[in-house]
């Protein structure tokens, strides 16, 4: 069975778009296709009107795991993509990013000396160090504890407010999607199609007061009803066959 089918999506520049849906609906497949790391059996991915056919220098990717090389310290992990591309790093920009995410002073630490949250911060710095126009994030905080995850969400929002990098964010958390996003896209169960798109109207920065409000609660309920209601209707249809 196809992971995605007739899945069409437009992402405006300088926005954060979260993609949510039931497990196995093709969220990660969609993200990897956007990155150029996953081939398509049909259709196309366009960036600024140009077809993506492989890894692209303007697209950064943050994985579910930090994927730091265990034998290299933090700064050497961040510089690794520049070595591969034979490019000179902008050390002033990298230094700014390290300071921005609270990793200044940890440059010589090895990955096993860093917490999970610090490792994910390092992976974000590594991705942003190349100044991509698009940053793809594949449920990067799913393995973190709730408190650290909230810190990381706030960090992503702060970085976005500074850089306005276009971000596509995969998550299973509706609350996380609403905190971060300008738009939330809901996919159907596999094969994934776009079921609905929700514009998120809340002002930034998104405070605790905003996130605890009735509007957020109501929008969370509507998105969950879309996901679980569609799952239930599909199970009922299968049972009737």
Please give the Cα distance from 189 to 33 (Å, whole number).
Answer: 18
Q: Residue 240: its pLDDT value, please?
A: 44
Per-residue confidence (pLDDT) for residue 106, from 0 to 100: 97
Q: What is the mean pLDDT of the chain?
A: 89
Question: Can you give the pLDDT at residue 160?
Answer: 94
pLDDT of residue 173: 92
The whole-number pLDDT of residue 239 equals 45
pLDDT (tens digit, 9 = 90+) per residue, 94-128? 999 999 999 999 999 999 999 999 999 999 999 99
Of 105, 131, 101, nearest to 118 by C-alpha is 101
- 200 φ/ψ sector (left φ>0, alpha ψ -120 to 50, else beta): beta
Global pTM exceeds 0.85 = yes
Phi, psi of 195 (to 5 degrees): -80, -45
pLDDT at 164: 93
The pLDDT assigned to 123 comes to: 94
* Cα-Cα-Cα-Cα dihedral sign, residues 218, 220, 226, 228: negative
Per DSSP, the chain holds a count of helices (H) and strands (E) of 8, 8
- The per-residue pLDDT for range 121-170, each reduced to its tens digit, is 999 999 999 999 999 999 988 888 888 899 999 999 999 999 999 999 99
User: Residues 35-90: pLDDT tens digits?
Assistant: 888 878 888 898 988 898 888 889 999 988 899 999 999 999 999 999 998 999 99
Please determine, for residue 220, whether its predicted confidence score (pLDDT) is greater than 90: yes
How far is the CA of 63 from the CAs of 66, 124, 162, 219, 222, in angstroms?
A: 6, 9, 22, 27, 28
Place of tokens 């810190």: 151
Residue 1 above 70 pLDDT?
A: no
Q: Where are the alpha helices (DSSP H) in the chain?
A: 27-35, 74-85, 91-100, 116-128, 146-163, 174-180, 208-211, 214-240
* Structural class in CATH, domain 1-58+142-241: alpha beta
Q: What share of the chain is helix, strand, coil (3-state, %, to 5)?
A: 45, 15, 40
What is the band of 237 on the pLDDT scale with cuts at 50, 70, 90? very low
pLDDT confidence tier of residue 2, bands split at 50, 70 and 90: confident
CB-CB neighbours of 162 under 10 Å: 11
Domain extent listing, the chain: 1-58+142-241, 68-131
* Buried b / exposed e along 13-47 (16+ C-beta atoms within 10 A): eebbbbbbbbeebbbbbbbbbbbbeeeeeeeebeb
Whole-angstrom Cα distance, residue 241 to residue 237? 7
């Amino acid at each position: 069975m196809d992971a995605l089918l007739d899945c069409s999506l437009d992402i405006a520049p300088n926005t954060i778009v979260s993609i949510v849906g039931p497990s196995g609906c093709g969220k990660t497949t969609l993200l990897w296709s956007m990155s150029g790391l996953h081939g398509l059996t049909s259709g196309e991915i366009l960036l600024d009107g140009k077809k993506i056919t492989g890894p692209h220098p303007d697209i950064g990717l943050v994985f579910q795991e930090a994927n730091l090389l265990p034998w290299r310290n933090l700064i050497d992990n961040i510089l690794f993509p520049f070595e591969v591309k034979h490019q000179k790093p902008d050390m002033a920009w990298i230094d700014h990013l390290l300071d921005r995410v609270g990793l200044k002073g940890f440059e010589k630490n090895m990955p096993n000396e860093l917490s999970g949250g610090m490792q994910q911060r390092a992976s974000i710095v590594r991705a942003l160090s190349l100044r991509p126009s698009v940053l793809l994030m594949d449920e990067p905080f799913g393995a973190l504890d709730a408190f650290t995850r909230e810190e990381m969400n706030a960090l992503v929002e702060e970085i976005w407010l500074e850089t306005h990098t276009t971000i596509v964010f995969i998550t299973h958390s509706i609350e996380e999607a609403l905190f971060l996003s300008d738009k939330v896209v809901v996919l159907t169960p596999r094969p994934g199609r776009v079921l609905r798109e929700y514009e998120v109207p809340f002002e930034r920065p998104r405070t605790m007061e905003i996130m605890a409000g009735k509007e957020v609660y109501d929008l969370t309920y509507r998105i969950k009803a879309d996901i679980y209601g569609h799952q239930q209707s599909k199970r009922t249809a299968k049972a009737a066959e």
